[in-house]
Amino acid sequence: MAPSIRLSPASRSLFDEPLAIAVQGLGPRQQVTLRASLRDETEQLFQASAHYQAGDDGELDLARCPALPGGSFSGLEPMGLLWALQPQKPFWRLVKRDVQSPFLLQLEVFEGHGERPGRLLAQTQHERAFLREGMRRVPVREGRIRATLFLPPGEDTVPGIIDIHGLGGGLSEHRASLLANHGFATLALAYYQFEDLPQKPNKLHLEYFEEAVNYMLQHPQVKGRGVGLLGFSKGGEVSLAMAAFLKNIMAVASLNGPVAATCIPFSYKDKTIPTLNYYEHKAKATNSKTVDYSDVLDDPFQAPGNQSLIPLEKAEAQFLFVVGQDDRIVKSEYYATEVCKLLQAQGKENFQILSYPGTGHCMDPPFFPLYSIGKHPFFHKQAVLGGEPRAHSKAQVHAWSQIQAFFKKYL
C-alpha cells in the first residue's frame, strides 16, 4: 500500500493539544524525512524537518521512534515538528491575531535523508485551532474597558480570569482563548495602544484594571467572589500591582514578570509607584546585531530600587511565579526568589515558584516555537530573549498544566 500519514486527532486539534503523528505503508527500515510547514497570517513561512527510519513493519510512529541526527531536532520528540518550527524570515515570531481561524499545518514525507528533499511519498493538512466548538468570543467595550471575553459553552458559572500581556500594546487573544477552552471565563485585556486607549501612557492607572475586575465579578457566568490574573512580562507586573492594591483578586500567575514598576509607573488613588532606573550603557552587545539587556535595571531589593518594589505583603491573593532560568529580559528567577523571601519574613505562605532551566523570556502556551531573539519593547533594538528550544518547549507544556491546576484550586 502507498505510504500515508495518520494523525490523531485526525483533521483538527487545539493548538495547545498534543498531536499524534504516524506514517504507515513505508518499506521495512526505510529512511524518510518528515517536514512540517505553517504560514502565519502575514504569509510568513515556518518550517521544521526531521530524519526518521521506519520499523521492520514499515510503520513509523513519532511517539515511539526517535528522530535521527541531522534535522531540526533529534531524539524521541513526538511534538518536535511543531515546537521546532523556525521562521524563514529571521527574528520573526509566530503570533495568532485572529483566534477564530485555525493555523493550517502541512505535513510531508520525503524519501531519504538528503540535503535536498527526495521524492514526496505522502502529505496531509491539519487545522490547529484556538477555540473549541461552542466557545464564545465576545468583544467588550464597556466604560473604559477594551477587551475580549472568551466563554465556555452553556450557562454554567465558571472561574473568571483576566489575561494581561506584556509591553508592546494592542490586544493579544491567543493565550486567553486557549485557556478558556479548559473551563474558564477569560478576559483578554488591552491597556494601551489599542483603539481609544492611550498610545504612550505616562502612568498606568490601576482604576482602569479595577473596572475590568468589577466587570468580571458582575458577569452572570463568572462564579465566586474573586478573579484570577494571568500576566506575562509587564502584564505579570501589572497583575502583582493589582493584587497589592485592589480587592477581590484571589490568585495571580505571573509569567516572567518583574516585581517592581518598570518602564511605566503605576498609580492608584493618591499613591504612585515610580519605575526602576535603567542604564542603557550596561547593555552588552552579544554580536553585531543583538544586545543583552538583562543587567540594565536597578536592583529592586536595594536602594534606590526598593521604592519601585510592589508591596505584595498587602495582597491577599495566592501567587504562582513561573520563571525561566534563561530569561534575558527580566531577572525573573532572582525577583521571584527574593520577593518570596520577603513574604516569608512577614509570616506569609501564599506563594510558589516554578523555575525552568533552559527557558527564556517569551513563555507561551504549549507548542508555540521558541522566540529567542526579538525586538526589545522598550529599547527597540534586537535583544536576546533567551531559551533553548527543547527545554523551553517542555517548560511551556508543564507550566500550562500547572497554571490551570493553580486557578482551579484557588478560584
What size, in residues, is the chain? Answer: 411
Residue with cell 473549541: 132
- Residue burial 73-93, b: 16+ Cβ < 10 Å; e: rest: beeebbbbbbbbbbbeeeebb
Return the residue matching grid coordinates 493548538.
15
pLDDT (tens digit, 0 to 9) for every residue of the chain, 411 residues total?
Answer: 899 999 999 999 999 999 999 999 999 999 999 999 999 999 999 999 999 999 999 999 999 999 999 999 999 999 999 999 999 999 999 999 999 999 999 999 999 998 888 999 999 999 999 999 999 999 999 999 999 999 999 999 999 999 999 998 999 999 999 999 999 999 999 999 999 999 999 999 999 999 999 999 999 999 999 999 999 999 999 999 999 999 999 999 999 999 999 999 999 999 999 999 999 889 888 877 899 998 999 999 998 999 999 999 999 999 999 999 999 999 999 999 999 999 999 999 999 999 999 999 999 999 999 999 998 878 888 899 999 999 999 999 999 999 999 999 999
Per DSSP, what are the bridge partners of residue 228? 161, 251
Predicted pLDDT of residue 378: 82
Alpha-carbon span 135 to 322, nearest angstrom: 27
* β-bridge partners, 232: 255
154 burial type by CB count under 10 A (0-12 exposed, 13-18 middle, 19+ buried): exposed
User: In this structure, which topology does domain 4-129 adopt according to CATH?
Assistant: Immunoglobulin-like (2.60.40)
Contact 39, 145 (CB under 8 A): no
At 233 the pLDDT is 97
Superfamily of domain 136-410: Alpha/Beta hydrolase fold, catalytic domain (3.40.50.1820)
CA separation for the pair 149, 138 (Å, rounded): 5
**Is position 361 annotated as part of the catalytic site?**
yes
Q: Look at residue 268 in the predicted model and tell me its pLDDT.
A: 98
Q: Using CA atoms, how far apart are residues 339 and 343, in angstroms rounded to an integer?
A: 6
pLDDT (0 to 100) of residue 1: 83
Whole-number pLDDT of residue 287: 75
Model pLDDT, residue 306: 94
Q: Of 361, 364, 372, 393, which one is the catalytic site residue?
A: 361
DSSP letter at 259 equals S
- Separation of CA 73 from chain center: 22
- Based on the residue annotation, tell me whether 327 is a catalytic residue of this protein: yes
Other CB atoms within a 10 A radius of the CB of residue 220 amount to 8
Where do the structural domains in the chain lie, given as residue ranges?
4-129, 136-410
Residue type, 110: F
pLDDT of residue 381: 86
Give every CB contact of residue 110 below 8 A, 6+ residues apart in sequence.
32, 33, 34, 35, 117, 118, 119, 120, 121
40 included as an active-site residue: no
Residue 402: per-residue pLDDT: 98
User: Which one of 298, 326, 327, 364 is the catalytic residue?
Assistant: 327
Residue from 37, 233, 267, 372 carrying the catalytic annotation: 233
